[in-house]
Each structure stands twice: as C-alpha cells, then as structure tokens.
Amino acid sequence: MTEARTESSEWLIYRGAGEPHDGMDRLPPPPPWRDFASRETAGPGADGSQNRRLGAHRHLAELHRPGAEELEMINAALYLRRPLLVTGSPGAGKSTLAHSVAYELGLGNVLKWSVVSRSTLQDGLYHYDAIARLQDVQIAAQGGFTSAAGGGAGSPGAVEGIGSYIRLGPLGTALLPSDMPRVLLIDELDKSDIDLPNDLLNVLEEGEFAIPELERVADRLPDGEAEVLTADGAKVRVRDGRVRCRAFPFVVLTSNGERDFPAPLMRRCIHLELGRPDHKRLATFVRAHLGDEAARRGDDLITHFLERSRSELLASDQLLNAIYLTDAAAPASRDRLADLLIQRLDRPR
C-alpha cells in the first residue's frame, strides 16, 4: 500500500460531492482480516477463517510465541481432554487461540458457536425442522412433490427421510465420532443466559447426547442409521439417535469476564487468563497480518497504543485497523486518523 500513500485527502474514496463518480475503481483490496473472497481460494476443506484470524504472513519467522503459562494450560487441556476456559480483555487473542491450535495441530476448520443471550444448549447440539417436514408431507399429499426431499426413500413423510430435517450445531458436530479431535470455539460464553453454562456441563462431561426425534424411530431406520447434516455442511450417519464422541474435542470457551461462571463448570475446565498483549506480541499480530514492512512503519502506533492502554480499554483489532488505514492515508492525517480509530471501549474514568 506504500504506493497508495498520498498527500491531503487523495485517499478519500467517498467525497460527499453529491455527484456520482468512479472512485470505487481506486478502492484498494480489503485488509486481510476482512478479505472474504479468500474463502474461495482457501483450498479444499478450508474455510479461509485461518488466514483472516491468524494472518496470511503467519509463516514469517519469530511470530507469536505464547508465554510458558499459556502453552502449559493449552497442553493441559489437550492432555486432560478438558475444555479450556480463556478469559481476558477484548482483543487479547482469546478467540484466535482456538485457530492457532487447530492450525498448528492440523485439526481442520474451527467449529464456532457464537453465544448470545438467547443461545440455548439445543442450538449448539442440533436443530430439527419439524415445520419443513410437515410442509413437505403436505405438498406430497397434494401430489405436488417431485423429488423426495425425504431422503430418497419414498415420500417425505417416510421415516427414512427424517435425517434431512436435522442439522447438527457446532457442539453437536464436534461430538461426532472421529479419531482426531475437532476444535470447537464456544465464543463469549459470558453473554449467555444464566442457565447455559450449567446446561453445557452434562454434555461436556459425558461427551455424548441424544436426538430423541431419531431415537424414537431408530428401529424403523436401516441399521438404525439416519443421515444428517453437520454444522460444516457435511452429511454424516447417526446411529440409534445418539451422537457419541471418540476423541473429546478441543473446546475453547471464551469470556470477557462480564460475569462469573458456576463452580461446577470452573472445576471441569482448565482456566487460562490471557494478559494484555505487550509490544512484542502486538508487533507479531501486525506482522502476521500485514507483513514486516507495515509492522516497522506502525511501530510508533504500537507504542502509542500501549501507552493509552494503561488507562483506557482498547482492543488490538483497533490497532490493526489503524496501522492498515494510516499506511494508505496521507501522513498529515496519520495521527488524527489513528486516534479516531483507536477509541476507548470503556467509559472515561
């Protein structure tokens, strides 16, 4: 983007001129963490989120090296087959940790469950679309059904087709039997309803769950099996209406510490508190996403960011945005623009 470095307001695409123009032709490619087109070139089986989260330059030497405690706690969770509860301030790298582990250990795409206040255990496990099934049965009864959405075995109402109306959620998919563990990110668990952490306990303890809609009809299914859809869009066979893991998934629960979790959950998790990233760590984030040159040019912004972080709540994403954008903007607007982008997330004390 150095070539794009311009004086004055040249970098502005939208000018508020009130007249249409072809400024969009000059819009540079998106920052790597907002490059959704890269999903198409991510390669077989990859969803592109690793590049967006870990940076396309992550192969550069001397990138992020987790501290000793961080490494130990991650490995403890791996060895003990326990969920890892990661707490820390915004932008500390909690969510990205799951991607780092999946990438380094070749565990495939991360299954992500973004928790909101309405999330229930059921959302994480599976969804049964009873209404769609009913509609298909009605259409078939009216003679309007041509292709058997019911799974190719007779009418849509036939028991054999029931699996087509079931889609496993991220947690349900992570618990499918496999030799290697899947990585599951249960993101921002502290945003959940008060019951969810407790509801999760049992499933995480047992490593299995039932799908009553399938259990009920299992004796009428060929080999007791139904074909259902996973959270990543694959088709898998579920036997006797139960999903039972073989390798317990590597589960990362994240929390900004907005509330405390019940003791029974804490007891069953390995807890890692991520500190605020220091200069070295922030520089590695920048290098991973934007390369060496950009990290060098943005070094003063990292120092400024860290100074402000002593009294203000800031997130490393804001720093990445600022370094990326100020690289394209005129030097005269650089500091002002950085301050505009790095806004404190807490209230002034």
Ligand X SMILES: Nc1ncnc2c1ncn2[C@@H]1O[C@H](COP(=O)(O)OP(=O)(O)OP(=O)(O)O)[C@@H](O)[C@H]1O
| Binding stretches for ligand X (CB under 6 A) | 33, 53-55, 64, 88, 90-96, 100, 254, 256, 285, 288, 315-317, 320
Count of residues of this chain found to bind Mg ion when the rule CB under 5 A is applied: 1
User: Smaller CB distance to Mg ion: residue 174 or 253?
Assistant: 253
User: Smaller CB distance to ligand X: residue 83 or 91?
Assistant: 91
Here the tokens at position 130 are: 């009873």
Here the tokens at position 9 are: 């307001």
User: Smaller CB distance to Mg ion: residue 95 or 230?
Assistant: 95
CB of 93 to Mg ion, least distance (A): 8
Q: Binding of Mg ion at residue 96 (CB under 5 A)?
A: no
Cα separation, 75 vs 203, in Å, equals 22
Residue type at position 47 = D
CB of 73 to ligand X, least distance (A): 15
User: Smaller CB distance to ligand X: residue 13 or 105?
Assistant: 105
Say which entry of ligand X, Mg ion, none residue 320 contacts (CB below 5 to 8 A, set by partner kind).
Answer: ligand X
CB of 92 to Mg ion, least distance (A): 8
Cα separation, 295 vs 311, in Å, equals 24
Q: CB under 5 A: which stretch of 17-25, 95-103, 211-219, 233-241 binds Mg ion? A: 95-103
Q: What is the 3-state secondary structure (H, E, C) of 207-228?
A: CEEECHHHHCCHHHCHHHEEEE
Say which entry of ligand X, Mg ion, none residue 169 contacts (CB below 5 to 8 A, set by partner kind).
Answer: none
CB of 178 to ligand X, least distance (A): 25
Q: CB under 5 A: which stretch of 35-43, 44-52, 92-100, 142-150 binds Mg ion? A: 92-100
User: Smaller CB distance to ligand X: residue 88 or 150?
Assistant: 88
User: Smaller CB distance to ligand X: residue 92 or 203?
Assistant: 92
Contact residues toward Mg ion (CB under 5 A) are 95
